[in-house]
Structure 1
Amino acid sequence: MNRLTSQLVDAVKHQSVDSRMARSLERRRLRAYIMLLLFDGVLFNVSFMLAANIWDTHWTHYRAMIAAQAMLPVFFTIALYNGTYGMRALSDWVFASRQSVLAVVISAGLINFLGFYTKTNEEFSRGVVTIGLLLTMVLLVASRRLMAMVIEKRWGGRVSNRLVIDDGGSSFAFAGADHIRAADYNLDPASHDPFMLDRLGKLLRNQDQVVVSCPRERRQDWAFLLKSAGVYAEIVSEPAHQLGAVGVHRYDDLERTTLVVSTGPLGLRSRILKRGFDVVVAGGALVALSPVLLITALLIKLEDNGPVFFIQRRLGRGNEFFDMFKFRSMREDKLDHDGNRSAGREDDRVTRVGAFIRRTSIDELPQIINVLKGDMSIVGPRPHALGSRANNKFFWEVDRSYWQRHCLKPGLTGLAQVRGHRGATEHEKDLTDRLQSDLEYIAGWSLMRDIEIVLRTARVLTHKNAF
């Protein structure tokens, strides 16, 4: 009787597993890739035909078509390597647009480079090529947006199968994924029951990504089963999340695996670009603003005959100390080198000249010297005094992630400042708002963003919270 019951249970499980088997989406993706390839080839030719008609009033001018046919194979080669026709390109039209435009730019550069050395540039019409490239890029972006709309309408936006298996671990809300409970299908990773393995195999069939959430003691068994299944799989790890792991490194000679918890915010190329930007802007600013610097120094000296500069120890990159320069804006006998008290409105410590230069941010200009010295950058998280507090708590007591903002050099200006987060930190939110902007800036650094922040800074040099 027990054996009959067991067989009935297995039969029910088998039927339910069959109903949950995923349909392969590979053919769907392949059709989309082929359609994009053909469409892009047509767009290239149509764009250059339009360019020929605009420039030479001739739809099929041979110089236009030569340029199109020369670039098209190079474009396809680059596009196939940079992810233009990849899974992410089907689910993220912005990424797809960026990669396709990048492929056009690189292919145009390579063809022009080749034409220069083979002295065949004269075969191309500069006007036709320029217009053709611009039209091609516009139409490629439009086609990616159109493809995203078609995928959303016909396929519900689904281009991959993702499965989350809950085996008693922490909840894992994976958008767009199917979720099942291991107990509902009698899945035991420690079991060697062929029928259980068959059920699991059916559930994993055609899955592009599988995530298992289970207790720590079952992770090794699940890892073994998932490797045996031959699918891309991940196992949720709370300790790895708490450590902020960003990858895994294997040391085969030591028979050990480590969690990568930090890679540094910027690579060598990015650091070179950022430092070059700092030196050029700071050097130019020092020359251009020298009259302002000299006049300000003279006015400070004339007011009370005290020192022109206020030098304060601040925390810089890697949480190391550095001496930051500012124009002195407070009375010499009331200087606060530790920053225990934030400046406020009607502050009795601020001089008349100091009130003006603080209100107009002129007091910060000597930090150009810090930038040239390499202590600071033009753009970055603003450095704080050691004694700074919010709601009578040190900044790191309010939010422990405060220390993470020091993985980049501090800046003369930053994302927090152009968003209006300036002045005294009377409440904890005054700090957390700045911290959120700083961490966002670090995570998404780019040279263009630095340029944008510098331009936006001109609009917030005077601010209601600057006192």
Structure 2
Amino acid sequence: PYNDIRICGIFDDRNDKRSPPIVAGYPKLGTISELIEFARIARIDMLIVSLPLTAESRVLQLLKKLWVLPVDIRLSAHSNALQFRPRAYSYIGSVPMLDIFDKPINDWDSVAKRAFDIVFSLVGIVLFSPVMLATAIAIKLDSKGPVLFKQKRHGFNNEIIEVYKFRSMYADRSDPTAKQTVTKNDPRVTRVGRFIRKTSIDELPQFFNSLLGSLSLVGPRPHAIAAQSHNLLYNEVVDGYFARHKVKPGVTGWAQINGWRGEMDTNEKIRMRTEYDLYYIENWSMLFDLRILLLTPIRLLNTENAY
């Protein structure tokens, strides 16, 4: 399966004296810190860590930085000091590799998940079209401004996407950056807005996001790129927060149907949502997606934390 591998380059923190600019004909493109951004932009499929297995501390530090990426990560097992059973290895050419991380959703599963999204998004749009039409009319009658609200959020692989919602705030008081969390009895929220936020009707336009491909029906909920808790960005609160973006964000998710929705006014709430999101990613399957989708209408009847 690795016959068609194309090596893009090498990344190394060592200086040119210890690590020449060209190794075995391949250029050194930068440091490890630059590797993460490069891997996102270049859509790298696999990273190979070529360190001695005995350099445990360096290996662990490096893997901790890289595990947030939606790529296969392999550790070259070229040391003679440690031996593993043959079945513990995979091979790239004749070089044994330890499989450290795999992409959460492989190529064929991605095709199946995309087909799932298209079919059920169309079903959702048809079923909820009367509700969406009534909501649009109510918003126009209730306050001045557009019916829809667009917000920039983090998508798959940290890409910036625009997510659609029904407008629930007064147009002149809306906060596209989401730096200020919506709280109970928030004066920025309109009368219609309170109802559609509590019932999650404001999220229905995201069926179109899912149909177009920026969202999946099921996945970690996308957060606004500037969302904060106590003046800290979410990735500053939770170590490994960006690992949530190893899959497409979703219209609904495992955290939401387990009660972790609504206001994120404490660091603990952010940590718990991230924990549930990572559990979803690590245990993903099509059946898991179907289970979450079917449970969503039932669980969202609990509106305790939604306002």
Identify which of 91, 97, 104 aligns with 1:265: 104
Measured in 2, the distance between the counterparts of 1:406 and 1:261 equals 18
Q: Is this contact kept in 1: 2:143–2:190, CA < 8 A?
A: no
Unaligned runs of 5+ residues in structure 2 are: 1-50, 68-72, 79-90
Structure 2 residue aligned with 1:465: 305
Match of 2:166 in 1: 327
Give the direction of change, closer, same or farther, for the CA distance of 1:305–1:445 in structure 2 (3 Å limit): same
Q: Equivalent residue of 1:289, what SS?
A: helix
Q: In structure 1, how many angstroms separate the alpha carbons of the residues matched to 2:154 and 2:55?
A: 36
Q: Which amino acid aligns with 1:291?
A: P
Deviation at 1:273, TM superposition (A): 1.2
Q: Which residue of 2 aligns with 1:317?
A: 156
* Aligned equivalents of 1:289, 1:394: Cα separation in 2: 34
TM-score (norm 1): 0.47
- What CA distance in whole angstroms lies between the structure 2 residues aligned with 1:435 and 1:253? 34
Give 1:375-394 correspondences, 5 Å limit: 375-394=214-233
C-alpha change, 1:297 and 1:259, in structure 2 (3 Å) is same
> Which residue number in structure 2 is paired with residue 282 of structure 1?
121
8 A contact 2:144–2:171 mirrored in 1: no
Contact 1:330 1:349 in 2 (8 A): yes
Q: CA, structure 1 residues 253+426, in 2 after alignment: closer, same or farther (shift >3 Å)?
A: closer
Which position in structure 2 is the counterpart of 1:431? 270
The alpha-carbon distance between structure 1 residues 425 and 253, as it changes in their structure 2 partners (threshold 3 A), is closer
- Residue 192 of structure 1 aligns with which residue? none
Corresponding residue for residue 132 of structure 2: 293
Q: What secondary structure, in the 3-state scheme, does the structure 2 residue paired with 1:337 have? A: coil
Which position in structure 2 is the counterpart of 1:155? none
1 CA distance for matches of 2:252 and 2:181?
Answer: 19
SS of corresponding position for 1:375:
coil
Q: Report the alpha carbon displacement of residue 237 of structure 1 after superposing the two structures with TM.
A: 2.5
| Residue 62 (structure 2) aligned to one of 243, 246, 253 | 243
TM-aligned CA distance change 1:314 to 1:253, over 3 Å: closer
2:261 to 416, 419, 422: 422
Alignment of 1:121-200 (within 5 A): none
Letter in 1 for 2:304: K
SS of residue in 2 equivalent to 1:345: coil
Counterpart of 1:411, as a letter, is: G
> What letter matches 2:58 in structure 1?
P
Which residue does the alignment assign to 1:336?
Answer: 175
Q: Answer whether contact 1:331 1:351 (CA < 8 A) is retained.
A: yes
Question: Is the aligned partner of 1:407 residue 2:226?
Answer: no
Larger radius of gyration between Structure 1 and Structure 2: 1
Give ranges in structure 1 of 5+ residues lacking alignment. Answer: 1-218, 221-233
> In 2, are the aligned partners of 1:243 and 1:261 still within 8 Å (CA)?
no
Q: Which range moved further: 308-317 or 455-464?
A: 455-464
Summarize deviations over 1:59-95 as a string: whole Å, max 9, x none: xxxxxxxxxxxxxxxxxxxxxxxxxxxxxxxxxxxxx
Q: Distance in 1 between matches of 2:256 and 2:206?
A: 16
* Residue matched to 2:199: 360
Q: What is the aligned partner in structure 2 of residue 306 from structure 1?
A: 145
CA drift at 1:235: 6.2
Report the CA distance shift for 1:255/1:455 in structure 2 as closer, same or farther (over 3 A).
Answer: closer
Aligned-partner residue type, residue 113 of structure 2: K
CA deviation vs aligned residue, 1:419-448 (integer Å, no higher than 9, x gap): 101111111100000000001100110000
**Compared CA separation, residues 361 and 412, structure 1 to 2 (3 A):** same
Deviation at 1:350, TM superposition (A): 0.4
Q: CA RMSD in A?
A: 2.6
Runs of 4+ in 1 over 4 A off after TM superposition: 249-262
Deviation at 1:250, TM superposition (A): 7.0
Higher strand share: 2
> Cα 1:274–1:253, aligned 2, differ >3 Å: closer, same or farther?
closer
Cα displacement string for residues 71-128 of structure 1 (whole angstroms, at most 9, x for unaligned residues): xxxxxxxxxxxxxxxxxxxxxxxxxxxxxxxxxxxxxxxxxxxxxxxxxxxxxxxxxx
**1:313 is aligned with what amino acid?**
K
Do 1:240 and 1:259's aligned partners in 2 also have CA atoms closer than 8 Å?
A: no
The CA distance in 1 between the partners of 2:268 and 2:126, in whole Å, is 38
C-alpha distance in structure 2 between counterparts of 1:335 and 1:410, whole Å = 23
Q: Which residue of 1 aligns with 2:294?
A: 455
The alignment covers a number of residue pairs equal to 236
| 1:317–1:407 Cα contact (<8 Å) kept | yes
Q: Shift of the alpha carbon at 1:254?
A: 11
Letter in 2 for 1:304: S
Work out whether residues 390 and 430 of structure 1, in 8 Å CA contact, stay in contact via their aligned partners in 2: no
